[in-house]
A and B are shown apart, each in its own frame.
Chain A
């Protein structure tokens, strides 16, 4: 197929072919961070002590003002996700051509087009600049949650990490609200009556908090339930196989297969779902918070003022020219 395309476009044959070695390096760049995380986990590993629901392991502690900075497993995994996504993006966008002849370009274009269509459907054409952000949030969140499939600690079950994203989301919402004018934004808190001001402030602040808690809670609960079920199943299988002699009695038979089904729900489905919900909530909040009429009114006023200023300037210029 490549040949036929190249024969149709003879000028393409001169274009440089993607270097396979670089592709290999990029794939390695996607895999190695996770391998490194697994290695770290093993190095610092805590030997199985039964059921133990805790937060992420702390690898290093850095003394910082305000609070100690912890380099945890979650931090490491989220860094790994960012690096892997960086490599993935580089891999997908290598050797882009006007007439696509590689699958990776089709995938890249598919992602971009779908994101743009999604943002456009939900927010309108004016917000198309949001689509890279939406893609970034979705990819980061989904891959962070999915990293639990590798046996790593999913960073999304650490509230601090999800809270970071929620802060970005909240900043965007507030930024777009402020586009209708600071006074307008401020006045919004005293509606419908000034008495509602505390509640309005709380509801404003509750948006990022609820977003963070929703995401974190879903992933963490999946992790907790999975752990509990796994532990429970091993004791059930121990009870079932008690009669059998020797080592077979302690063989966790029921732990084969059943946790995998749960994992499909909690790790794969829930992870992707939460990523999607987080992105959707961000864009919907931005869209709903954006005072479109007020913004347009201000823009019109600004433009009128500018025209007026130019109109004033023009006679002066003409005078100078004369």
Chain B
């Protein structure tokens, strides 16, 4: 059988056309089946990764917000506590003063009452003494004069005397 071959350099329009079509077919195969599919998968993966990142970012932002909130709340609570303590201190100081004042007042009252009662006692003692002395002097005078004198006049006399003595004491 005779074997036909092409020449080493031979240009054939149909060969060119066939090979051109081959290249185009292969291009479409690559585009649709390889690049299209792979890129779709890759973009899906990118999307998924992006979602995860977004979630993480959102979670971190939320955490940050919460932290701020708690921080401010904590500050608020601290201030509250400070205020309460301060209040209590002021109130305690007022109460303290009140108690001290009260005690002072009571003490001075007691002192005054004591003074008064001492004065009363003294006065009573003086009066008793005066009576005693006047009685005594009347008795003595009766004995001396041996006559009844008008006790009232007498008493007046002695009282004036005692008063003069007291004046002298002073």
Contact = CB atoms under 8 A, between A and B. Distances in A.
Interface of A: 44-46, 53-58, 61-62, 64, 66-70, 72, 74-75, 78-79, 82, 85-86, 89-90, 92-93, 96-99, 105, 108-109, 111-112, 115, 131-133, 135-137, 139-140, 155, 158-165, 167-168, 220
Given A57-B5, A109-B42, A89 B19 contact: no
Contact of A44 (B3, B24, B34): B3
B30 A135 contact: yes
A75 B38 CA distance: 30
Contacts of B10: 55, 159-160
Contacts of B42: 109, 112
B22 A67 contact: no
A90 to B, nearest CB: 7
Contacts of B5: 46, 54-58
18 contacts: A54-B6, A78-B22, A86-B33, A93-B33, A112-B38, A131-B35, A132-B31, A136-B23, A136-B26, A136-B27, A136-B30, A158-B15, A159-B9, A160-B12, A161-B15, A161-B16, A165-B19, A167-B20
Nearest to A55: B6
A54 B23 contact: no
A164 B23 contact: yes
B29 interface: yes
B7 interface: yes
Given A136-B23, A136-B26, A136-B27, 8 more contacts: A44-B1, A58-B4, A93-B37, A97-B41, A112-B34, A133-B27, A155-B19, A164-B17
A51 to B, nearest CB: 13
B109 interface: no
B11 interface: yes
A160 B4 CA distance: 17
B16 A56 contact: no
B132 to A, nearest CB: 121
Contact of B6 (A72, A85, A115): A72
Contacts of B31: 132-133
B18 interface: yes
Given A97-B41, A164-B15, A85 B29 contact: yes
Contacts of B16: 160-161, 163-164, 167
